[in-house]
Amino acid sequence: MRDDNLLVPALFFKHTGTYVDWNEQYQSVVFRAKDKYFALLIGKNYTDDLNRATGQWTRGTLATHTLDFGGEPFVPLVDVARKLGMDVRYDQTLRRTFITTNLPVQRNQIIRARTNEKLVALTFDDGPDDHYTPMILDILKEKGVPATFFVVGQQINAHPDMMRRIVNEGHGIANHTWSHPNLRNQWSSAVRNEIVSTQQELQRVVGRRPDIFRAPYGITTKADIAILNELGMRNIFWSVDTLDWSGLSADEILKIVRRDISPGGIILQHNYNPHANILDGTVEALPRIIDELRAQGYRFVTVQTLLDSQQ
């Protein structure tokens, strides 16, 4: 609170579908939504508003000053929401402020395919690398199973030959950002750059630009989803989380798969981790997962094929 006004992190407004960016030159936060475009300078109690039709700027006032708290810009909640044209209501009983966004964002989240066929997609995040990825590829090749690799741009740049091997052996590929940040904590322009830079690197290395994406940690805001929609990217989650990143054993991973598998399922695993031996259970569990699900009548496909099968 400041001067009886509630201040929130500027990035909070990404949850309403608003694009939020930082202007380093002017030390200001820029908000953009529909026909609204305005900037709040840190430490000031005014806004600079752009009329996008005329290109003219005008200055408005705020109820209190913006501030920098621990290196993060905080802005007055009610003032910014109202400037964005949103409905703001305070509930005296609950002692909470409710904001109704006026920015509809088309839903974009696929957890599993809508199919009754016994189809399943194996997915691997965070690679490629030169340790776990070749072991996983060897198993997939031996078993004759396709998978989908959600790749990180900086890892592609570090291991282009492994990236080419993934494609040459018939596996699906998908975008998993350039540097694996939590998108919720990124300015909107940085989110777009994370995705586009990875697309460009994939084009350079393997000549492909997939339309499939998975956010690091599965975390997005409405503004991030709006960017994905603009870029024509489908946002893929998962229906089976093996939790292999935590160093689980093969038996523990297999137990999770048995419990959660269903037709159209998407299994989340990883093929890179900077900590030694963390994904040993992933490699050991993989052939057992394949054999057991095949015995149950499941057929392994890429995420792209899985989505194409939806009924």
d(CA 224, CA 190): 10
d(CA 43, CA 51): 23
CA 271 from centre of chain: 18
CB contact set of 24 (below 8 Å; sequence gap of 6+): none
- Continuous segment of H or E residues that includes residue 138: helix 132-143
Q: Which of 231, 135, 122, 247 is closest to 177 using CA atoms?
A: 231
Beta strand 148-151 with 119-125 is: parallel
Catalytic site includes residue 176:
no
* CA dihedral over 128, 133, 136, 138, signed as positive or negative: positive
Catalytic, out of 79, 125, 224, 244: 125
Catalytic, out of 159, 176, 180, 270: 270
Catalytic site includes residue 131:
no
Structure letter (DSSP) for residue 5? B
- Half-sphere exposure of 1 toward its Cβ, with a 13 Å CA cutoff? 3
Active site residues: 125, 270
